[in-house]
Amino acid sequence: MAATAPSSAAIAIPGQLLGPASKFQPGPGTHIHESNLYSSLLGLVHVTQPVKAPGPVKRLNKITPAPAPAELPTISVSRSAVSDKRETLPEVGNTVLCRVIRITPRQAVVAILICGETVLDAEWQGLIRVQDVRATEKDRVKIYESFRPGDIVRAEVISLGDQANYYLSTSRNELGVIMATSEAGNTMFPVNWKEYRDPETGFSEPRKVAKPY
Amino acid sequence: MAATEQPIVLPGDAIDPSLIPTHKKQPLRLGPGLRHIPPSYIVPTVAGQLVTDQKKNSMWIEYNSTRYIPSANDLVIGQVQRSATDLYYVNLSPYTSNAMLPHLAFEGATKKTRPQLAAGALVYARVTLANRHMDAELECVSATTGKAEGLGPLVGGMAFDVSLGLARRLLMARSREAGGVEVLELLGAEGLAFETAVGRNGRVWVSSDSAKTIVLVGRALRETDEGDLGVEKQRKLVKKLIRGMR
């Protein structure tokens, strides 16, 4: 049954009533249904008091609006003890680091490893289509000269895609291959925007190279 | 053939340094079957005969196998498996993934006029893209001239399987001197009328008006291949087959 006064040690199950929306601000792990806050997850309930902004001195004849939403305490439910740790997922516009799994003439299949600065818990599959590899001369891109399996690529999420894949793009200068291994097995260093070179054998291999920061 | 000049090597064997050709100006070129590990180690990776060419300063290994690995600019005979929106899936060798042949990679093909190839049809094509990360891609038209130059669908006739070594020797420019295979010329000299196409993937297509000729040519190829016949024995084989036919 619903807890009347949620405390920081209380456990909430999905669907449990947490309080009215007029008293609390919804945080992560909660949702609003018919002006009530319900928990979405199984976890600990946290209430964070709002930062009190220094307001003007109250005047008796001034009409002040109802308390702004920022002044309500925020209630959130999280799985672990740390109240603000959530599973990060790639969003549209995020820069991600991924490893190339497979290439076909029309797309490169990648596994997204890092989103922003966070290492993801699970590897999500992404797709870099041939028209999203470069900004110029999109119809003459050859995937074999842009990526190879095993490369580490910095890309940007352009779409959440369908059930199987995110859609990524490397069409800016700063996006592209940041680490590559040569056919001989050595780590290569970049020469220009379309070449990596093996320091031991001296052979160059074509890639779409990311501009170093 | 002096045994020391063209030795048989096994993978991993050390190569006698006196066999490696030297040249004043050209760098040494390694062909198939040899691998260079810097700085100066050359090692064979297949079993076969080490061949060197002083004039071009190159060395490679002649070896025979049955498994074809596509490489760029090879002429191959493939069988169409099925047709997708704008390409054909063509099988080059059994139990491998299909190569892709775009619908527009034929002579004079536009979006409106495409060739109609049914599943099971044979095509003579050239490999454009082949690497170990992707499926091979083919074309039936020369990219530079835009003409077919003998490529395209093979109508009628029959395809026979041969080993890769025999296919390579048949495709050599001077197959009798360099490759030691003359059986097709001999059969033609005996009056048989047929046409052939040789694919590097170990397939030979033979077509003729008479089915007996096709079977005869196929049998000659198979016996040359299995018996590893030299030029003399090929002559005897051809005579025997012609006698049996008449």
- Which of A44, A48, A17, A13 shows the shortest CA–CA distance to A33? A17
Question: Which tens digit of pLDDT belongs to each residue from A5-49?
Answer: 444 568 889 999 999 989 888 888 899 999 999 999 888 888 888
Same fold, A1-51+69-84 and A95-206: yes
- Decide if the complex's ipTM is over 0.90: no
Strand order in the sheet with B29-30: B8-9, B48-53, B58-62, B29-30
Q: Is the pLDDT of residue B96 over 80?
A: yes
Residue A62: per-residue pLDDT? 65
- Whether chain B has a CB inside 8 Å of the CB on A103: the answer is yes
Domain ranges within chain A, ordered by starting residue: 1-51+69-84, 95-206
Question: Which tens digit of pLDDT belongs to each residue from A132-178?
Answer: 999 999 999 999 999 999 999 999 999 999 999 999 999 999 999 99
Residue A85: per-residue pLDDT? 58
- Whether chain B has a CB inside 8 Å of the CB on A104: the answer is yes
Between CA B245 and CA A17 the distance in angstroms is 95
Tokens (6 digits) for B185: 């010329």
- Banded model confidence at residue B81, pLDDT cuts 50, 70, 90: very high
Q: Does domain A1-51+69-84 have CATH number 2.40.50.100?
A: yes
- Which of B216, B198, B168, B183 shows the shortest CA–CA distance to B66? B168
Half-sphere exposure of A200 (CA within 13 A, CB side): 13
Residue A66: per-residue pLDDT? 62
Residues of A in contact with B129 (CB under 8 A): 105, 144
Q: Do A151 and A100 form a contact (C-beta atoms < 8 A)?
A: yes
Q: What is the pTM of this model?
A: 0.75
Residue A67: per-residue pLDDT? 58
Question: Which tens digit of pLDDT belongs to each residue from A62-104?
Answer: 666 665 555 788 888 887 765 455 678 899 999 999 999 999 9
Closest Cα in chain B to A149: B133
Closest Cα in chain B to A183: B132
Cα–Cα distances in angstroms (integers) from residue B77 to residues A28, A187, A201, B129, B138, in the given order: 62, 38, 36, 16, 10
Between B104 and A66, whose confidence is greater? B104
Q: What does the mean pLDDT of chain B come to?
A: 88
Residue A159: per-residue pLDDT? 93
Residues of B in contact with A149 (CB under 8 A): 133
Q: Report the pLDDT averaged over residues B41-64.
A: 89
Q: What does the mean pLDDT of chain A come to?
A: 86
Give A95-206's CATH code, choosing from 3.40.1260.10, 3.40.1180.10, 3.40.640.10, 2.40.50.140.
2.40.50.140
- Banded model confidence at residue A56, pLDDT cuts 50, 70, 90: low
